Chains A and B, each alone.
Chain A
Amino acid sequence: MGSEKLIYLDNNATTPCDPRAVEAMLPFFHQIPGNAASRNHPFGWQAEEAVDYAREQIGNLLAVDSKEIIFTSGATEADNLGIKGVFEMYSRKGNHIITLKTEHKAVLDACKKVEKMGGEVTYLDVKADGRVDLEALEAAITDKTILISIMWANNETGVIQPMKEIGQLCEKHGVLFMSDATQAVGKIKTHPKELGIHLMAFTAHKMYGPKGVGALFVNRKNPRVKVTSQMDGGGHERGMRSGTLNVPGIVGFGKAAEIAMKEMDADAARLSVLRDKLEQAFKDNLEEVYVNGSVEHRMPHVANISFKHVEGEGLMMTFNQNIAVSSGSACTSASLEPSYVLIALGLGDDLAHSSLRFSLGRFTTEEEIDETIKMISKGVNHMRDLSPIWEMFKEGIDLDAVEWSEH
């Protein structure tokens, strides 16, 4: 590690909290200690006022009514509340949910739970560019379908789904539309009402706010959507989510939303230039470099790249004292399975194995990108010198024809 500064390119895992959000939060730890549900004294009033203000800030970012924001502990909880909550609330209407194979585990595992509860779930394949096949989606809708849940942007690839078209399908068939927009909110424009989204999950810690606080947007009018609470207790958040509100966290979340509203366009423009520079440099410096997922419909700060014939975890070890990224390699996961998201895009195990995800953020600098280009190019070359597969590739051996003796 030494004296060099660590370069953080794992902003899809979590973003640093913006110092302006931290500053906004601080008074709410000690000076203003109230519980937002305490209705009888100024401490409670102040806390409630702060929460209401944050709700407005977030409502403004999404162009929705602040009453449509239900605070949770994060996107995982919001995904669970949306999916299980709709399933329970609308069980008389139907029991079928449609989602994608490339969703976050919070959605997939909530759907698995729904199946255990007697529901039926269709997990759709995606196209090679990571986007949903709209015809297949429409074909999957039955008279029992109550919900389509499709993420706005994928956490591994940054691929953005055709939200508008999906919204139109939902409208046409009278199905609720939910989106896990965790990776999109605060980075690109996410106005659910314009696109016919009825429920939307997101979290503060992916948009330069604090960890441990998130929200579910629930449409209140035309149609009025309701979810069955998954956390029972004091009836907070209009009965949909009990539990004392995380006042400092919510204040930081609100501030983060306000900052995002002002700065996200400039951030996105700057970061896409840096991201493109990074990608182009790898393509120029190295052979056999592949960008995974749609390049056209993609978050501006994300690059998911496979360096063929190099194993991702090994590659990461060449620079991870200095640069933080993540990998779709099997060897980085406890299950030893490569990324299910990349496999769903049709990548072979070898390319999934060789992938790195770079996710830039508000605090990423051009110097950091230059340093990253240098260190990762060096790492790829080091690993290729060590790789028997690279050697065979260079000798023109057809790798698919090699018979491996498996141990």
Chain B
Amino acid sequence: MAYSEKLIEHFNHPKNVGTLDKSKNSVGTGLVGAPECGDVMRLQIEVDEASGMIKDAKFKTFGCGSAIASSSLATEWLKGKTVDEALAIDNMAIVEELALPPVKIHCSVLAEDAIKSAIADYRSKNGIAAE
């Protein structure tokens, strides 16, 4: 099974690897595991209070190449979006961008869930009810 060039590029040179200070109110952290294969993804966002835009995003992933590439891509897409725009990111867009094969679709679902979980964490910290 050969992976797409985009996937390999994200895997070899992942963007936004790292850790944000999770004690800050402006930071939301999502830590999710994939029941299918036991992989784990942590994705964090930092929201600019004035503009409501995501100004930074970081990840760390224990997982296959597709999971790492999906999280790297997700953090790229998150930056500069509002929280509401970020919620609209769909795993199928990741599947398309990275040309993931069918057995690897759940790896992109993991990324979508990590985004949603990070946003939920941010909102609960800041007393914003999820709609």
Q: State whether A331 touches B33 (Cβ < 8 A).
A: no
Give the interface centre of B19, B65, B109 by most chain A CB atoms within 10 Å: B65
The answer to whether A389 and B40 touch (CB under 8 A), given A309-B62, A336-B103, A405-B31, is yes
Q: State whether A389 touches B62 (Cβ < 8 A).
A: yes
In the complex, which residues 1-35 of chain B have their Cβ closer than 8 Å to any Cβ of chain A?
3, 8, 11-12, 14, 17, 19, 30-35
Q: What mask results when residues 388 to 407 of chain A are scored 1 for a CB within 8 Å of chain B, else 0?
A: 11110000000000101111
Chain B interface residue count: which class?
A: 20 to 34
Q: State whether B36 touches A336 (Cβ < 8 A).
A: yes
Give the residues in chain A near B119, CB-CB below 8 Å: none
Give the residues in chain B near A391, CB-CB below 8 Å: 19, 60
Question: Which chain B residue has the least Cβ–Cβ distance from A317?
Answer: B65
Question: Which chain B residue has the least Cβ–Cβ distance from A391?
Answer: B60
- The A/B interface has a contact count, at CB < 8 Å, of 85
Question: For the complex, what is the distance from the CA of A402 to the CA of B33, rounded to whole Å?
Answer: 11
Q: State whether A331 touches B63 (Cβ < 8 A).
A: yes
Q: State whether B38 touches A353 (Cβ < 8 A).
A: yes
Question: For the complex, what is the distance from the CA of A334 to the CA of B109, rounded to whole Å?
Answer: 17
Q: State whether A386 touches B14 (Cβ < 8 A).
A: yes
The answer to whether A313 and B31 touch (CB under 8 A), given A388-B40, A388-B41, A407-B109, is no
A100 lies within 8 A of chain B by Cβ: no
Give the residues in chain A near B61, CB-CB below 8 Å: 386-388
Give the residues in chain B near A44, CB-CB below 8 Å: none
Select which of B14, B32, B37 is within 8 A of A404 by beta carbon: B32
| Distance (whole angstroms) from the CB of B30 to the closest CB of chain A | 8
Give the residues in chain A near B40, CB-CB below 8 Å: 388-389, 404
| Distance (whole angstroms) from the CB of B28 to the closest CB of chain A | 13
| Distance (whole angstroms) from the CB of A234 to the closest CB of chain B | 40
| Distance (whole angstroms) from the CB of B109 to the closest CB of chain A | 6
Give the residues in chain B near A138, CB-CB below 8 Å: none
Question: For the complex, what is the distance from the CA of A402 to the CA of B41, rounded to whole Å?
Answer: 13
Q: State whether B36 touches A311 (Cβ < 8 A).
A: no
* B→A interface (CB under 8 Å): 3, 8, 11-12, 14, 17, 19, 30-42, 60-65, 67-68, 103, 106, 109-110, 113, 117
Given A314-B62, A389-B62, A407-B109, 10 more pairs with CB closer than 8 A: A309-B62, A317-B8, A317-B11, A318-B12, A332-B64, A387-B60, A387-B62, A388-B61, A391-B19, A407-B35
The 7 A-B residue pairs with the shortest CB-CB distance, nearest first, are A407-B113, A331-B64, A388-B60, A404-B33, A388-B42, A317-B65, A330-B37
